[in-house]
Amino acid sequence: MELTGAEIAIKCLQEEGVDCVFGYPGGAVLFIYDALFNQDKVKHILVRHEQAAVHAADGYSRSTDKVGVALVTSGPGLTNAVTGIATAYMDSIPMVIISGQVPTSYIGEDAFQEVDAVGITRPCVKHNFLVKDVKDLATTLKKAFYLAKSGRPGPVLVDIPKDVSNQKVEFSYPSSITIRSYNPEKNGDVSQIKRAAQLLIEAKRPMIYAGGGVILADASKQLTDLVRLLDAPCTNTLMGLGGYPATDKQFVGMLGMHGTYEANMGMQNCDVLLAVGTRFDDRVIGNVAHFGSVPRKIIHIDIDPASISKRVKVDVPIVGDVASVLGDLLAVLHSSKQKPDAEALASWWKQINEWRSRNSLSYKNSTETIKPQYVIEKLYEITHGEAFVTSDVGQHQMWAAQYYKFTQPRRWINSGGLGTMGFGLPAAMGVQLAHPDAAVACVTGEGSIQMNIQELSTCKQFRLPIKVIALNNRYLGMVRQWQEFFHGNRYSESYMDALPDFVKLAEAYGHVGIRVDKPSDVEGALREAFERKNDLVFLDFQTDPTENVFPMVPGGKGLSEVILAEDL
Amino acid sequence: MRHIISLLMENEAGALSRVAGLFSARGYNIESLTVAPTEDPTLSRMTIVTNGSEAIIEQIQKQLNKLIEVVAVIDLSEGDHLERELMLVKLRAQGEAREELKRMADIFRGRIIDVSDKTYTIELTGTGSKLDSFLHAIDRNLILETVRTGSSGIGRGDRILKL
């Protein structure tokens, strides 16, 4: 049957099993919106800003294992989407972004709402396409979904000129696709896996450091089995939280700039380090020379060969799908006659427990002012650790990561790589749409929330009962903290004057707002919010403006050069 | 260290800008870059001359491989290879210099491909350093214009980069 490009685009989404698209209409995508109008399989979520469309598709993807889809118009529609695309790219989130483009005959003429979408997004997509011929549209969309999801996942942009969306062609959707220049490895090299197993079994002080790759590959079970089999301590990166249950005794907390003392000391003192689905990021290992200054063997499992030996030279590189490699590694270990060295492990755990006893996440609670850490602890209790928690970027993000103990993957949703303020609320929309009955909390600050506050309107339209947990300290808290530590208390532009009344603001959008000033009211307010199953509740917690995030490894320092709260 | 990297990529619009963009975004050097379609019109062959530590060269190759349209990458300088560059030089060729330039062109196995009463245009191929030597060997004041292609490279013997 002959279909228009616009109809083909929607058909392709249906074929891919897409049930939800986040977008915003405009001139160049009018035909596509027309095709959307005439069907009911793909639901469209109308956001209030294109950045939010992409973040929402991103949150949708992170909380499921599906490809997120966003639809934006040409020019400003696309440029508004770029922050969202870059956010997804940095965290390897599978997404397809469809953007409208001016008609092919106008391209290059500086037409109204024309922008070089492929050029602008090139550095922040896994791949992108400009579809110049409607005959190529179905195949291109098939490729886009395949690329987004396979190998190291990432966002893929498909730019469709307006005339292409209106031309007709016979439609057939390819059932599978191969790209001769793209063949990601699935299975790890057997001999390397055997070497890794040998190193791990002989280790006296093993350490397992797992990142977002474990979540993306749905490899939590394999990771958990491996950690238990080896009786090794396990740490998660910010992106990896929930990949290993945080309540387990072998979990030593998050590592990195705001990681626990025991996780960072473990990283620096182990003799064999197994890095899984992670990339030795600067916020994770600190100063690279300091990190490399101690002898240890490093095994690195990652789907992306370019992530291996990029910042840190490794001894055993294993390229492959994390779930597959961990499965093979477990099989080798199970069949081995050797067992982990129980005596060595006992003394290693003794050392770790000594570091743990420093209790690096302790903070002094108050009956006068609300401590942000306390809010997160109560949030954890009241939601039984089972909520989906999205966050924005800053101090509140770190506190959420530190004090909410994630026991399942895909529950903690934040912008780790790009650090995008404004991510939390739209991401929560995507999560809530994917999980209509689940408790979804957006932990945010008064700075971040204002970067996409307009989405409260989308939440109203689609009845998304998100709980916004705003830790309002009147400061851009993380900026303030760095200014306190490294810039002589000169709080240059980090205080926000003239903040809105968030309660009234929430009400203006048709939601419930609650302001909480006293520590004794925190628990009650949270309970009330989560009991209101059908309402979006905006909780404005007036928190202690002087509170800092500890522990802290200052930028450029090594993991053991940490500042603890007790040091100050 | 100087490295010469060869790659095969899909002959598609925008593929070159992905490679060029990768080098600038990640701060890698490009000394020269040449590209043209191969005997298979769906593929382009590119030669990139770059420099950097072993770790950087390894990253360059991995990052190039990661580009979806790149089919194959090799570091030619890891083994025996040949390298050639084409240069066209327009020289002021009058009076005594006219004979002298003809002789120099012969010594360097260049060919005079255009002649006017005041100029010669010489075509010269060779390694980059041979072309440099030619330019050093002649009077600098006689050089009116030069254009160079940058190096193209190919492996010796059985070293073959093919799909």
Q: Give the Cα separation of B9 and B11 in Å (integer).
A: 6
pLDDT of residue A496: 86
**Within-domain flag for B159:** no
Torsion sign across C-alpha atoms A203, A207, A212, A218 = positive
Q: Is 3.40.50.1220 the CATH number for A190-356?
A: yes
Counting every residue written for chain B, the total comes to 163
> Residue B147 forms beta bridges with which residues?
B88
Q: Is A108 on the interface with B (CB under 8 A)?
A: no
User: Phi then psi for A213, rounded to 5 degrees?
Assistant: -60, -30
Please check whether residue B158 lies inside any domain of the structure.
no
Q: Do B86 and B147 share a structural domain?
A: yes
What pLDDT, on the 0 to 100 scale, is given for residue A497? 87
The answer to whether position B10 is within a domain reads yes
B81, pLDDT greater than 80: yes
Find the CB nearest B10 among A119, A147, A181: A181
User: What is the torsion angle, in degrees rounded to the nearest 10, for the CA atoms of residue A369, residue A373, residue A375 and residue A377?
Assistant: -140
Supply A361's token pair: 């996440």
Q: What local confidence, expressed as pLDDT, does residue B122 receive? A: 98
Residue A239 among the catalytic residues: no
Tokens 């396409």 belong to: A129
What pLDDT is attached to residue A216? Answer: 98
| ipTM of this predicted structure | 0.93
Q: What is the pLDDT of residue A567?
A: 79
A478 included as an active-site residue: yes
Residues 26-55 on A with a CB inside 8 Å of B are none
Average pLDDT over residues A528-534: 98
Average pLDDT of chain A?
Answer: 97
pLDDT, position B163: 84
Q: Which chain B residues are closer than 8 Å to A127 by Cβ?
A: 68
Domain end residue (candidates: B79, B96, B127): B79
List CB contacts (< 8 A) between A309 and chain B: 55, 58
Alpha helices (H) in A4-116, listed in sequence order: 5-15, 30-37, 50-63, 76-90
Query: In this model, does residue A410 exceed pLDDT 90?
Result: yes
Q: Give residue B46's domain range.
A: 2-79
The SS3 of residue B140 is helix
Residue B55 to residue A130, Cβ atoms within 8 A: no
* pLDDT exceeds cutoff 90 at A565: no
Say how many C-beta atoms besides its own lie within 10 A of residue A534's C-beta. 6
Q: Is residue B117 one of the residues assigned to a domain? A: yes
Please check whether residues B41 and B107 belong to one and the same domain. no
pLDDT higher than 80, residue A568: no
Q: Calculate how close chain A gets to B18, using CA atoms only, in Å.
A: 7
B29 belongs to a structural domain: yes
Q: What residues of chain A lie within 8 A of the CB of B59, using their CB?
A: 306, 310
**Structure-block tokens of residue A398:** 């770190």
Domain ranges of chain A: 2-170, 190-356, 372-549
Given the residues A7, A16, A50, A262, the one annotated as active site: A50
Residues of chain A with pLDDT > 90, as a percent, come to 98
Cis bond upstream, residue A295 (ω within 30): no
Residue B84: closest CA among B57, B53, B109, B112: B109
Same domain, B96 and B65: no
Quote the CA–CA distance of B81 and B101 in Å, as a whole number. 31
The answer to whether residue B157 neighbours chain A at the CB level (below 8 Å) is no
The answer to whether residues A198 and A230 touch, using CB atoms and an 8 Å cutoff, is no
Whether B87 and B63 map to the same domain: the answer is no
Structure tokens at A20: 């939800």
Question: Which CA distances in Å does B6 have to A306, A461, B51, B80, B128?
Answer: 18, 54, 14, 13, 16
Say how far apart CA A351 and CA A6 lie, in whole Å: 62
**A236 near A220, Cβ under 8 Å?**
no
3-state secondary structure A273-338: EEEECCCCCHHHHCCHHHHCCCCCEEEEEECCHHHCCCCCCCCEEEECCHHHHHHHHHHHHHHCCC
- Span A219-246, mean pLDDT? 98
Residue A337 reports pLDDT greater than 90:
yes
Last residue of a domain, one of B79, B95, B127: B79
Portion of chain B with pLDDT greater than 70, in percent: 100
Cα B102 from Cα B119, distance rounded (Å): 11
The residues with which A145 forms a beta bridge, in sequence order, are none
| Shortest Cα distance, chain B CAs vs residue A186, angstroms | 15
Check residue A72 and give its pLDDT.
Answer: 98
CB-defined contacts A:B, below 8 A: 36
What average pLDDT does the segment B137-144 reach? 95
Residue A487 pLDDT greater than 90, yes or no: yes
Nearest CA in chain A to B69: A181
Q: Decide if B31 contacts B77 (C-beta within 8 A).
A: no
At A4-52, the pLDDT tens digits run: 999 999 999 999 999 999 999 999 999 999 999 999 999 999 999 999 9
What pLDDT, on the 0 to 100 scale, is given for residue A22?
Answer: 98
| CATH class as words, domain A2-170 | alpha beta
A460 touches chain B (CB under 8 A): no
In a domain, B127, yes or no: yes
B72 and B110: one domain? no
Q: What's the pLDDT score for residue A402?
A: 98
Q: How many domains does chain B have?
A: 2
Q: One fold for both A2-170 and A190-356?
A: yes
Helices (H), A315-414: 322-335, 342-356, 372-382, 395-403
- Residue-wise pLDDT for A51-91, tens only, equals 999 999 999 999 999 999 999 999 999 999 999 999 999 99
Q: Which residues of B touch A126 (CB under 8 A)?
A: 68
One-letter amino acid identity for A329? L
Mark whether B115 and B126 lie in a shared domain: yes
| Whole-number percent of chain A with pLDDT over 70 | 100
| Encoded tokens for A293 | 């200054």
A372-549 carries CATH number 3.40.50.970: yes
Dist. CA A418–CA A403, nearest whole Å = 22
pLDDT, position A1: 86
Separation CA A274–CA A314 (nearest Å) = 10
Q: Residues B48, B106: one domain?
A: no
Is the same domain home to B121 and B97? yes
Residue B75 belongs to domain with CATH number: 3.30.70.260
Q: Domain containing B105 — which CATH number? A: 3.30.70.1150
Picking from B79, B102, B137, the residue at the C-terminal end of a domain is B79
Shortest CA distance to A40 belongs to which of A15, A5, A67, A10? A10
Residue B121 included in any domain? yes
Tell me, yes or no, whether B75 and B104 share the same domain: no
